[in-house]
Amino acid sequence: MEQYDQWQQLLPMVEPFYAVKSNPDPVILRLLSALGCGFDCATQGEIDLVLSGLGNDLNFADKPNSTDKMVYANPQKMKSHVEFAAQNGVCRTVFDGEDELYKLASVNDKLPEGRKLELLLRMSTDDEKSVCSFSHKFGCPAQEAPELLKIAQELNLNVVGVSFHVGSGCGDEGAYKKAFNDAYYVFEAAEQLGMPKMSMVDIGGGFPGDNLGSYREDAPTFPKIAKTVAAAITDFESKFFNQERKFRYIAEPGRYFCARSTTIASKVYGRKGGRGKNQALYIDNGVYGSFNNVVYDHFNPVPIKLQTALKGEEDLDSDEMIPTAIFGPTCDGLDQICDQKTTQMPRAEVDDWLLFENMGAYTHTASFVFNGYTHIPQYIHCINTTDYESEDSNGL
């Protein structure tokens, strides 16, 4: 809720569409839906979850025009998934290649007259400095866009705008400005082809979930990114000064909303060297479970002993900090969460609990079965109502 408030304050002109893949916990989805957030879905399963999995009061399938707050933001889709989305009113999606256009056209031709696909051309971006880059997999270079637009025009497809993604964990806020310059080029190319005027820009994600340097200490903060995006939008619109046109801007924040929402608690079941000058701890979760973000998302988990968390600040200085390695429960040497060279914490004992904060994004959602461990966490949902008392009887 704090993140949503910050978004509305700093980027009120951009509608947030939460990236469901970052954490599809229904509690998070229901909260964001109640706040008025839209949703970025990448698969049929995620679309179905938003349409039918939020409860009778919040299901998008039960609300008129609610599918206008959804985007099927996967540039390469299975045809059956596109058909499911379109049949359920989710008609806004993206493309980045010729073959995808032919696929979309085959679906579009079978839709009833009043329901047609709305397409966004996905552009590649300068995402070299981002934690996770996508342009090697998705996106069309701006200079190749006119040719794709011609094909879309020939197929009688409705291209309503462009989309881009500067990479997850943006490392350079200037990437948004460059992307908006490319967006203007694509808009101009569409006009020169005589296509209907485009009006939508999907600026993707890349927004940090915290300003704590969990991924890289030099990463730009959200306020800094928001200032750059707002300026880029002003500059983008100024180029259409002689035209009457209303633009719509959406974004796909994922970790921005959910990263700080979750703390993972894991138990120490084994220890080596704990009486020496360093220690190695073995816990009941690892990189095949909730800590897969260490491998795939370049995350740097910070362990906190439960006893330390419960102490008052005046008692913390009494804890001796020693180099600590932390390993997951599988027999794979890759299953390491923290390294002694970069991690120090107080001495721990078997059966101690360790806490890891900022673990809400791209964690347990990407875990899988290995070595006999199923990695199904037990969830405890908490809400602090003291900071968000509403006078509205219909409030949360």
Cite the active site residues: 331
Helix, strand, coil tally for the chain in percent (to 5):
35, 20, 45
Please say whether the dihedral angle defined by the alpha carbons of residues 17, 21, 22 and 28, taken in this order, is positive or negative: positive
**Burial annotation 256-288 (CB, 10 A radius, 16+ → b, else e):** bbbbbbbebbbebeebeebeeeebbbbbebbbb
Say if residues 14 and 354 touch (Cβ distance below 8 Å). Answer: no
Dihedral over alpha carbons 13, 239, 138, 150 (to 10 degrees): 130
Euclidean distance between CA atoms 325 and 347, whole angstroms: 11
How do strand 336-338 and strand 321-327 relate by DSSP bridges?
antiparallel
| CA nearest to 382, candidates 136, 122, 31 | 31
338: left (phi over 0), alpha (psi -120 to 50) or beta: beta
Say if residues 368 and 360 touch (Cβ distance below 8 Å). Answer: no
Phi then psi for 67, rounded to 5 degrees?
-65, -15
Euclidean distance between CA atoms 322 and 340, whole angstroms: 9
- In angstroms, what CA-CA distances link 327 with 179, 237, 279? 40, 51, 11
Euclidean distance between CA atoms 129 and 70, whole angstroms: 29
Euclidean distance between CA atoms 347 and 324, whole angstroms: 8
Looking at the chain, list the stretches that DSSP marks H as alpha helix, in order from N- to C-terminal side: 2-10, 26-35, 44-52, 79-87, 98-108, 145-154, 174-192, 222-238, 255-258, 293-296, 306-310
- In the numeric block, which tokens belong to residue 299? 């995350």
